Chain A
Amino acid sequence: MIVLVSGLAAGALFAATALAYNVMFSTSKVLSVTTGHIAMLGGVFGAYVITGLGLSPWLGLLAAILVGGLFGYLTDVIAIRRVVSRSDEHLWLLSTLALATIVQQGVGLWWGTEPRPFPRLIPQDFSAGLADQKYWLPIIATGLLAIGLELFYRRTLYGKLFVAMSEDTFAARARGIETDRIRALSYVIAGVIGAVAGFAAGQLTFAFFALGLTLTLNGFIALAVGGLGSNVGALVGGAALGLLNAFSANAIGGEYQNTVSVGLLMAVLLLKPEGLFGARNVRPV
């Protein structure tokens, strides 16, 4: 039972990372290497504000959201805006990789390279077992984020602009949509999603500078398993990956986490390359 719950909790974080991938992908067709680092920033700045400055958890959450949104915006300004207009598809991969390295190493220099504990958000003693907040906080946070994102897409004008842009950027621009501003907004939203998830899962992952890279990989695996562009797929893929990791760690030991995750990725890519809920890719010609 503890395996199931902890797997779901880790899966919720992967799913939220996959959601952030999706939001950025929908407007710019870019899979940003910085996605996992957003969640890392949320965790680190949350811990910094609450433990380091001694402020209340709500202010910590606020700081995480601000930092995440700001980092999302900066990603767009620095790494995406100048690059996405060029036809070379590799450039965005290089620029986001560079930015991810800068952020990770910068945080490493400032925060230290050891994982630091994340404070308790709600008063609760450590004997709660399965009901411990470190398990259910990320699950609830991801659920709320997914519902909020779905409502945003369906009910608001900006959400509809996102959908229009993900269908066809050029047509959207021809209809008078300011695609640059919408893209920047999508990066801010992705930053907020990642930061909230990273903040909520902080007690599970600790505030650790190298978390970003692992999450970038695992979020991507969740996304590829669920299907690129599908939010339901992101949730299912994240949960599946989290559960698989937890059960395999229970069965054969925790040393083979990455091997198992990548095995799942390879199996899905070979059997169903577009993922469980993804749209079939058009051929490049």
Chain B
Amino acid sequence: MTSSSLRSLAGTLVAIAAVATLPWWVADQYQLHLAALIAVYWVLICGLNLVVGFSGQLSIGHVGLLAIGAYGFAILAGRYEWSPYLSLLACGAIGGLCGFLLGLPSLRLPGFYFAMATMAFALIVAELTLALGDFTGGGVGLAVPPFPEPFASPEGFYLLAAGAAILITWLTRNVAQSQWGRGLIAIRDNPVAAESVGVPVFRMKLLVFVVSGMSAGLAGALFGSLQSYITPDTFVFELGLFFFVCIIIGGRGSIYGPLFGTIVLTALPEMVAPLAKLGNLFYGLALLAVVLLVPEGIGRVFEVLSARLRPRKLEHGAVEPDARRLAELLREERSR
């Protein structure tokens, strides 16, 4: 094992330890709630990152899938009294199925059309949760059951969500570093060239979209349980925009950039009171600033800064010209 991979392993272990022990060093319950919320969001955003950040499909409507997961959990675990764990897995499956049904027609469409189709999907889900009142409780909403012990307490729930987040980070990291990740980036940067070298463009796009649907369904179930009561107003379109903005601000084609974006964008409005008043306006401003100034995302800024602070070692030592070979070459040239 080389020293750099040892160092990254140590870094990962320290990060996991920090995440796992967080309930014992946060200041109050509210911060713990915030941390659980970040973990739940990250489960969704991590899957969405494969779609937006890696394969370059601009889906702004994942809040629809989140809503499906949350309502699915509320109905399965609440009304039909399934085991919460089974319901959680079922919500992942439902999310994946909905992702498949949504992706099958819409992933064939070019950029703007696809974004509009996903946005329309989010609006349709919002409309149906209101309209199908017998099933979803309509505008009144539904109570969502908590998880049983040991995950019933805030600390327990946080650990459950963080575990799911770490698991999904590990999965997407494996995907991103394999041939698959390269293929997805190729699709993002130039679909025509990707297809010409044998990347099955549509199949890969659809597959990552289904994966993102599954992660959104899981996140939805966790989200519903965290909120403990959901109404159609919980899943406004702006929430979908927020997920999207987290990825763009963090930087496309990276995993830790969007993670950073999620943490900052979730925590910042809660910590800084004036920003909370601005609400979604703040996300719009942040998105505009990033798109105009650093289209590669905040992650890129850190890369540039670290390159500035730690300049690469330059090669010292004189280069000896091979005078004899040069003279021979020149002679050959002249005699030709």
Instruction: Give B50-88 as 1s and 0s: 1 = Cβ < 8 Å from A's Cβ atoms.
Output: 000000101010000000000000000000000000000
Q: Is the CB of A257 within 8 A of B127?
A: yes
Q: Does B130 contact A (CB under 8 A)?
A: yes
Q: Is the CB of A270 within 8 A of B105?
A: yes
Q: Does B309 contact A (CB under 8 A)?
A: no
Query: Which residues on B sit within 8 Å (CB–CB) of A86?
Result: 295
User: A93-B115, A105-B280, A224-B113 given as contacts; is B127 within 8 A of A258 (CB)?
Assistant: yes
**Could you tell me the distance in whole angstroms from the C-beta of A61 to the nearest C-beta in chain B?**
28
Q: Does B318 contact A (CB under 8 A)?
A: no
Binds A, one of B153-161, B223-231, B281-289, B322-330: B281-289
CA distance A105 to B128 in the complex (A): 25
**Could you tell me the distance in whole angstroms from the C-beta of B183 to the nearest C-beta in chain A?**
18
Q: Does B192 contact A (CB under 8 A)?
A: yes
Q: Is the CB of A266 within 8 A of B287?
A: no
Binds A, one of B14-22, B29-37, B118-126: B118-126
Q: How many A-B residue pairs have CB under 8 A?
A: 97
Instruction: Give B257-300 as 1s and 0s: 1 = Cβ < 8 Å from A's Cβ atoms.
Output: 00000000000000000000011110111011001100100000
CA distance A78 to B112 in the complex (A): 19
Q: Is the CB of A259 within 8 A of B128?
A: yes
Among B111, B113, B128, B283, contact of A90 (Cβ-Cβ < 8 Å): B111
Which A70-108 residues have C-beta < 8 A from chain B? 78-79, 82-83, 86, 88-91, 93-95, 97-102, 104-106
Q: Is the CB of B284 within 8 A of A91?
A: no
Q: Does B180 contact A (CB under 8 A)?
A: no
Among B109, B119, B278, B284, contact of A99 (Cβ-Cβ < 8 Å): B284
CA distance A83 to B279 in the complex (A): 26
Q: Is the CB of B58 within 8 A of A105?
A: no
Instruction: Give A253-285 as 1s and 0s: 1 = Cβ < 8 Å from B's Cβ atoms.
Output: 101111101100110011000000000000011
Q: Is the CB of B291 within 8 A of A262?
A: no
Q: Does A145 contact B (CB under 8 A)?
A: no
The interface size bin for chain A is: 35 or more
**Could you tell me the distance in whole angstroms from the C-beta of B65 to the nearest C-beta in chain A?**
16
Closest to A89 in B: B111
Q: Is the CB of A255 within 8 A of B131?
A: yes
CA distance A266 to B106 in the complex (A): 9
List 19 additional contacts besides A101-B284, A224-B113, A256-B128; criterion CB under 8 Å. A89-B111, A91-B295, A94-B287, A95-B291, A95-B292, A98-B284, A101-B281, A105-B278, A105-B279, A109-B281, A213-B237, A217-B123, A259-B124, A259-B128, A262-B117, A262-B120, A265-B117, A265-B120, A284-B191
Across the A-B interface, the 9 shortest Cβ-Cβ residue pairs: A101-B284, A255-B131, A98-B288, A105-B281, A102-B284, A98-B287, A262-B120, A31-B112, A258-B123
Give 30 pairs: A residue, B residue, CB < 8 Å, sorted on A.
A31-B112, A78-B288, A79-B288, A89-B111, A94-B58, A94-B287, A97-B115, A98-B288, A99-B284, A99-B288, A100-B284, A101-B284, A104-B280, A105-B278, A105-B279, A105-B280, A109-B278, A213-B119, A255-B131, A256-B128, A258-B124, A259-B127, A259-B128, A261-B120, A262-B120, A262-B124, A269-B105, A269-B109, A270-B105, A285-B192
Taking beta carbons and an 8 Å cutoff, which residues of B are in contact with A?
A: 56, 58, 60, 105, 109, 111-113, 115-117, 119-121, 123-124, 127-128, 130-131, 191-192, 237-238, 241, 248, 278-281, 283-285, 287-288, 291-292, 295
